């Protein structure tokens, strides 16, 4: 879809990546309706203040999107989780799965009837390289994104031939406040590269316009995704330095500000 034809419903629009996405899309001629838990930072933009982890929030966003005639949905909202599994509270695990996996699934379900009535529509799930590459310290976050990748893949095949295209954008580590100090230290210790949010935003714009099924960002992450799919357990030894770095992490590693989008 050409950018100037897109009316984009963007969840997570107040985050670092979300703000860059909104600016890039608007700059290319798209119209954007942002969704966030807090009021809009600008008064000149379409905005829905809602908590997507609640039934009421989902209904409010679905109703606003239908009335606004959104034809592109970008699921960019999410919450972080980083640290060894034994130190991760069960409540945090449930919150991560609710926000990162169940909320986009439920919102897609609510919006699908309206989208299928349009001549052309797109649903983009913002996943993560960690949804396809399991890294020590990201078991919970990676599980939420792996589930999202699986949902998107199955739905893409389910809706093939119809007006709604389903796509997945998988960034690697990104330099935003979403990544706390513990993750930054982990990335530095393990040599993990990261991208500016504008790089992810440009990739989103390209994906909407070229209508490809998937886009994974960064090298060697793109290669690692392919190798992990082919070799699986044979790659386990490749992550020894990640495991050692995690074991050496400070006691405050569960700072809710840190993970990799």
Residue-wise pLDDT tens digits, 50-69: 999 999 999 999 999 999 99
Contacts of 73 (CB under 8 A, 6+ apart): 8, 9, 65, 107, 108, 111, 115, 121, 122, 123, 124
Residue 18: pLDDT band with limits 50, 70, 90: very high
Which whole number is the average pLDDT over 170-185? 77
Q: Taking 90 as the threshold, does the pLDDT of residue 133 lie above it?
A: no
Average confidence score pLDDT of the chain? 87
Q: How far is CA 248 from CA 47, 57, 142, 168, 241, in A?
A: 42, 40, 20, 33, 11
Residue 238: pLDDT band with limits 50, 70, 90: confident
Task: Tell me the whole-structure pTM to 2 decimals.
Answer: 0.85
Q: Are 143 and 97 a contacting pair, CB within 8 Å?
A: yes
Alpha-carbon distance of 11 to 151, in angstroms, equals 18
- pLDDT value at position 231? 65
Which whole number is the average pLDDT over 241-260? 54
Question: Given the structure tokens 């495991």, which residue do they identify?
Answer: 243
Q: Taking 70 as the threshold, does the pLDDT of residue 182 lie above it?
A: yes
CA dihedral over 177, 35, 125, 150, signed as positive or negative: positive
Domain 3-247 superfamily per CATH: NAD(P)-binding Rossmann-like Domain (3.40.50.720)
Which whole number is the average pLDDT over 120-138? 90
**Gyration radius of the chain over CA positions:** 18
Which whole number is the average pLDDT over 151-174? 93
**Helix (H), strand (E) counts: the chain:** 9, 7
Give the chain's largest Cα–Cα span. Answer: 54
Contacts of 103 (CB under 8 A, 6+ apart): 52, 53, 58, 77
Helices (H), the chain: 16-27, 55-68, 90-97, 103-116, 139-158, 181-190, 197-210, 221-231, 240-247
């Amino acid at each position: 879809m050409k950018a100037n034809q897109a009316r984009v419903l963007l969840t997570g629009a107040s985050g670092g990546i979300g703000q860059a996405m909104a600016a890039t899309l608007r700059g290319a001629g798209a119209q954007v309706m942002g969704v966030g838990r807090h009021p809009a930072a600008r008064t000149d933009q379409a905005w829905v203040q809602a908590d997507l982890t609640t039934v009421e929030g989902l209904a409010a966003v679905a109703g606003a999107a239908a009335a606004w005639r959104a034809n592109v949905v970008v699921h960019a909202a999410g919450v972080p989780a980083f640290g060894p599994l034994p130190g991760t509270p069960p409540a945090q695990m449930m919150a991560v799965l609710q926000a990162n996996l169940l909320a986009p699934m439920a919102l897609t379900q609510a919006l699908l009837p309206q989208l299928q009535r349009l001549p052309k529509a797109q649903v983009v799930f913002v996943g993560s390289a960690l949804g396809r590459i399991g890294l020590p310290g990201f078991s919970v976050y990676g599980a939420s994104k792996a589930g999202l990748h699986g949902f998107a893949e199955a739905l893409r095949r389910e809706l093939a031939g119809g007006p709604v295209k389903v796509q997945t954008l998988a960034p690697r580590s990104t330099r935003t406040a979403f990544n706390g100090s513990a993750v930054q230290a982990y990335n530095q210790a393990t040599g993990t590269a990261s991208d500016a949010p504008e790089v992810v935003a440009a990739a989103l714009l390209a994906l909407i316009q070229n209508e490809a099924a998937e886009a994974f960002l960064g090298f060697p992450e793109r290669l690692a995704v392919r190798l992990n799919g082919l070799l699986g357990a044979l790659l386990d030894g490749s992550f020894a330095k990640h495991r050692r770095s995690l074991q050496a992490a400070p006691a405050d590693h569960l700072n809710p500000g840190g993970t990799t989008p």
